[in-house]
Chain A
Amino acid sequence: MPTSGFLHQQASHCESGVMSAILRHYGLPLSEPMAFGLSSALAFAYLPFIKLSGLPLVSYRMPPKAILRGLQKPLGFAMHTETFRAPEKGAARLNALLDAGQVVGLQASVFWLPFIPPDFRFHFNAHNLLAYGRDATDGDYLISDPVLEAAVRCPAADLTKARFARGVLAPKGLLYYPANPPREPDWKSVLPAALKKTTRIMLHTPLPFIGVRGMRWLARAIERLPAATDAQATKLYIGHLVRMQEEIGTGGGGFRFMYAAFLEEAALLAQRPTLAELAAELADIGDHWREFALAAARMIRDRDPLDPARLAQQLREQATREQTFFVALAKAARG
């Protein structure tokens, strides 16, 4: 049974975890926070016109595949990607790659993966995981899902179903692996470029629902929730925010802690001590996101009165903090 000498390692987020593991396997040890930060994956987006079960899409990072794509340029490699129309072809191609000893990144729907705890199995199509082998006798795949503690096995029919789920962000059987080995970059040039891109997204996107402006826009929407007339809907809405922030594999605090870890690493690699100070500031901001989550959860369970205005206020304070932070980060990136 070929396992390609692959070692499972737990991460906090699926896409950055997969990229960290796949790059390590193909010769470049790169931490999860570095994969996340170097691809400028941190963001904030409030997209009220995209609904998930009737609730607006709120995200604390760039869209799926941003990390996969964003690492190619700084690390000087190309990610080979394939999608398929027919599930049989997608399964056959994956088998051929695994039999040749490749470690392959996959996109799949969380809902159809039997090894994910039942309470987490919602129809989220942009989950990422790695396949590193196949059992020749029963056809089970050997899977490394970065959000799990250990590697798992998955029956072939289940994995194929998950890879070809339909709907928003349908994976279409996406599989990927590096076409050439990644190489260690010149940190002093790639890191400032990555930082600059993130500060631009957070501060200067010309759309009112992205970055710190998006937080303020969301604060206004929270204020308008019908707490008095429809407590149930209000609670579902704020619970949804907390799930997007904490539950969807963000490493806590809507990716802010992970990005802070990236800044610490960047401070050493680019020899910019200011970045380590900024890392501490961002970790504090992450703590405030956790407080926001706690306040919302207490309201959901009626331990505190349901008061959307208070949450909106907390969110506006976060917007102010992040604005100050990203202005300072932009300055530090310029050197």
Chain B
Amino acid sequence: MNIDDVPQEGNRTHPGQRKSIYARTTNGRLGLVASSGWEVEEIVTRQAVEAFEALADAARKKARRGESSPLEYHMYRARMDLALLAQASGLWRWRVRRHLKLRDFARLSPALRQRYADALGIAADQLATLD
């Protein structure tokens, strides 16, 4: 890649930030060149972010209808899945899966609520809400 081919298309996933990539510079040698963004990268980054947003959105609707617990919504909002939430909270996967159900979630002890809140980086009282 030559310095003139380094994309300067802007990228709304890193607004105002440039990243460095290696390209052939004006002295004929490969070196770091600042890039304001490449649309290809914007497409794939937004795709990954939107996939989690869609999951969180669906989980929120389900929770509103009373079909699942708010924990599922918060899990996807924190860009986690079941495996990751289990690791982050230090709980068995089957236990987390149970707590995704409204009935078991409602019975959670304050200690477990705190544990989930810590893993998700939110306050314990936020866990029961859909904010």
CB-based nearest B residue for A250: B21
Q: Using a CB-CB cutoff of 8 Å, which residues 37-56 of chain A contact chain B?
A: 51, 53-54
Check A252/B23 contact, CB under 8 A, given A297-B43, A297-B44.
yes
Residue of B nearest to A236 (CB): B51
CB <8 Å contact, B30 and A123:
no
CB–CB A10/B32 < 8 A: yes
Q: Is the CB of B23 within 8 A of A120?
A: no
B47 touches A300 (CB 8 A): yes
- Contact B30–A119 (Cβ < 8 Å): no
Please tell me which stretch of B34-42, B63-71, B92-100, B102-110 contacts chain A, meaning at least 4 of its Cβ atoms lie within 8 angstroms of it: B34-42
Interface magnitude class on chain B:
35 or more
Those of B1-60 within 8 Å (CB) of chain A: 1, 13-15, 17-24, 29-32, 34, 38-41, 43-49, 51
Name the A residues within 8 Å of B47 (CB-CB). Answer: 235-236, 239, 300
Chain B positions 75-128 with a Cβ under 8 Å from a chain A Cβ: 78-81, 83-84, 87-88, 90, 119, 121
- Give Cα A258–Cα B13 distance, bound, in whole angstroms: 23
Do A166 and B22 touch across chains, with their CB atoms under 8 A apart?
no
Q: Can you name the residue of chain A whose Cβ is closest to the Cβ of B52?
A: A53
- Give a binary string over A256-269; 1 marks a CB under 8 Å from any B CB, 0 the rest: 01101100100000
The residue from B13, B31, B78 contacting A120, defined by CB atoms under 8 A apart: B13
* B1→A123 contact, CB < 8 A: no
The CA-CA distance from A148 to B15 in the complex, in Å, is 12
Q: Of the candidates B20, B45, B80, B90, which one forms a contact with A247 in the assembled complex, judged by CB atoms under 8 Å apart?
A: B45
Q: Which residues of B contact A249 (CB under 8 A)?
A: 19
Tell me the dominant secondary structure on chain A's binding face: helix
Contact with B1, one of A53, A149, A239, A290 (Cβ below 8 angstroms): A290
Closest Cβ neighbor of B83 among chain A residues: A51
Stretch at the interface among A92-100, A128-136, A206-214, A279-287: A279-287
Q: State whether A148 and B17 are in contact (beta carbons under 8 Å apart), knowing that A246-B38, A252-B1 are contacts in the complex.
A: yes
Distance of A153 Cα from B57 Cα, bound (Å): 33
Number of interface residues of A (CB under 8 A): 52
Q: CB distance A53 to B81 under 8 Å? A: yes
**Given A239-B43, A246-B38, is A257 in contact with B30 using a C-beta cutoff of 8 Å?**
yes
Does more than half of chain B's interface fall in helix, strand or loop, or is it mixed? Answer: mixed
A246 / chain B contacts, CB cutoff of 8 Å: 38, 40-41, 44
Determine the residue in chain B with the shortest Cβ distance to A109: B88
Cβ contact within 8 Å between B22 and A297: no
Interface string of A163-189 (1 = CB under 8 A from B): 001111000000000000000000000
Instruction: Please tell me if the beta carbons of B23 and A257 are within 8 angstroms of each other in the complex.
Output: yes
Q: Are B40 and A297 in contact (CB under 8 A)?
A: yes
- Asked if A257 and B43 make an inter-chain contact with CB atoms under 8 angstroms apart, the answer reads no
Q: Which of A111, A149, A239, A260 contacts B44 (CB 8 A)?
A: A239
Q: In the docked arrangement, what's the CA distance between A148 and B16, Å?
A: 11
Tell whether A283 pairs with B32 under 8 Å between CB atoms, given A12-B19, A117-B17, A123-B84. no
Given A117-B13, A117-B17, A290-B1: A261 in contact with B22 (beta carbons within 8 A): yes
A residues less than 8 Å from B40 (CB atoms): 242, 246, 293-294, 297
| Given A54-B81, A119-B45, A243-B45; A12-B17 close (CB under 8 Å) | no
Q: Name the CB-closest residue of A to B119.
A: A166
Residues of B within 8 A of A296 (CB): 44
Do B30 and A11 touch across chains, with their CB atoms under 8 A apart?
A: no
Q: State A246–B47 Cα separation when bound (angstroms).
A: 14
Taking CB atoms and an 8 Å cut-off, the chain A residues in 52-69 that contact chain B are 53-54
Determine whether the beta carbon of B22 is less than 8 Å from that of A258. yes
A166 touches B43 (CB 8 A): no
A73 to chain B, nearest CB (A): 25
Expressed in whole angstroms, the minimum distance between the Cβ of A318 and any Cβ of chain B is 16
Given contacts A236-B47, A252-B23, A297-B44, contact A264 B29 (CB under 8 A): yes
> Complex: how many Å from CA A168 to CA B49?
20
- B87/A243 in contact, CB under 8 A: no
Across the two chains, which residue of chain B brings its CB closest to A51?
B83
| Residues of B contacting A8 in the complex (Cβ-Cβ under 8 angstroms) | none
Known pairs A12-B19, A247-B41; list 4 more (Cβ under 8 Å): A53-B81, A239-B47, A287-B1, A296-B44
The 7 closest A-B CB pairs, nearest first, are A257-B22, A119-B13, A261-B30, A252-B21, A167-B87, A297-B40, A239-B44
